[in-house]
Chain A
Amino acid sequence: MTTGRPSLPALFTRRGVPLWRDVQVLQWAAQIVSAIIVIGFLAFFASNVLRAAQVRGLSLGYDFLDLTAGFDLPEGIEYTPADSFGRAFLVGLVNTAKVAMVGIVLATILGTITALARLSSNWLVSKIASVYIETVRNIPLLVQLFFWYFAIFQQLPSVQDSITWPGPMYLSQRGLYTVAPVTTESFGTWMAFVAAGIVLALALRSMLLRHQMQTGRDTHYGLVALVVLIGMPLAGWFLVGEVPLVTDDPVMGEFNFTGGLRLTPEFAALLTGLVIYTGAFTAEVVRAGIQAVSRGQFDAARAVGLSSSQTLRLVVLPQALRVIIPPLISQYLNLTKNSSLAIAIGYADVFFIGKTIINQAGRAVPVFSMVMAVYLCASLTTSVVMNIYNRRIQLVER
């Protein structure tokens, strides 16, 4: 600032800086302007919605959830068309959770096996794994789902000439029929045996492990725990009297199977597509994790005398998992979000049912907010879990 010039009134200056160059003022101005722009946009949209609601008789409340839905759903927990919209939405929620959970378990198994195959020293096995990964990752998931549903599951033979697999499993246009486990009265007692087996096995394991640490003598803690873990339920099976679990086989009736467990073609196609797609990504995550553990770690573990299973369990896995788990969790989240593609093949997930409710009740805005809230909750929970995990492994880091 030049000193000779008369300064502006004190109101307009602070620390001798004119208002339009004062950083703090500028920052406040920027924030207020951006807030006005964003709020203005939102208000513009909101006023349009409200006017549309008035003109076209659109309702924005959530009261419709108690109204009778009136449409049937192909699958899910107990539901009839006489139930409410809220119940229908719940069915969708459970269906999404079902396909996501089963999918996550299967994709993890497939991904791990593929990653091990990919890292195999056998050239052919490794090549097969990488062809699978490169094929699946470069084809859009929706194309794969269309393929599985329209080209495979829809073109299976009719239910009368079902393909029979050992199991027994029957595969037809109506889906996959297989054995359903049915609990009997003694099931509760048997579950107590199972629980006792788990508790006892864990207790024995830690006791023997401590003993081994103190004395240095091999106590075979793993083996003992395993025997208890399997032995207790096995003993219980015969002790409870009545067999706790019986199977319910599907029986071919006049037109269709009765009894047994049925997977609809929609569920089967969605699950197949999601598992095969996510499995390829999971394989890459697992492979990267294993490769992140340096060769020296193996050698060092062997040099201090650890057996190869100990090396894997105590040295390699803890380090590999640290690399694997964060991207793995985001793959799980992707699978859950991708399950919304169910709408293209007609599996009754939360998005599909939300769409149906919109068609029936015409409440686009509230229903959409609910559907989005479901997915948002899933991703927020995931990121919270991930942050906690990251903080925990950071403590271990040197």
Chain B
Amino acid sequence: MLEIRNLNKTYGRHAALRDVSLTAGEGEVFGLLGPNGAGKTTLLRILATLLRPTAGTASVAGHDVTREPEAVRRAIGVVNGGMGLPARLTGREVLRSFAGLYGMTRAQAEARIAELDAALELGRTLDIRAGEYSTGMAQKVTIARALIHDPQVLVLDEATSGLDIFARRTLLDFVAAARRPGRLTLYSTHVMSEAEEVCDRVAILHQGELVTVGSVPDILAGTGERTLERAFFALVRGLEGEVARAS
């Protein structure tokens, strides 16, 4: 479902991603972890065809991100913390508008909106303008927008950013429930405890490099730590020690 090989991205002299390679399969919730500036968002933007890689390849749902960007965009749904909603449109209008962009008919759109309404408990949120939403309401509609075409790959980038405790809990429960055959969920966060809770496997990025990939229990066992956050620090300290020794 996701195959990344030797992916590099540079901005001028700054390397945002260095030789990143990883794979993820359907039915998984795959975590991308790392502090701010680790390269998570750059990687996800390449997968969403918003950025072009400097070198390397990536394919999503069997489509190459540089050669078949439209097919990739049909296969993915993206939610990130910075994404907003048009303030003067209602949730229903936003969802109808995006359904149209995915080539859905009006009847298909209405049926799908009804499904998402039931799954995400959108209720009256659908019929009020986005400018009047609370953060939690906006996040629900943003997720519904990303799911309107039932994507094969759901990308959540820092999706809990700015959410209150209730909205955050709803989102994490949703991510856990969204795991199903035929769908890959990519969950990017800098909050290790969230990844520990919802992800089957995780990839840890630090300063544009892939530090490790594996299941949460394997990473904890490999580092001898009790939490993913402690494991992250252990791995990063090890990496920085190697760099220091090499230089």
User: Do A and B belong to a common assembly?
Assistant: no
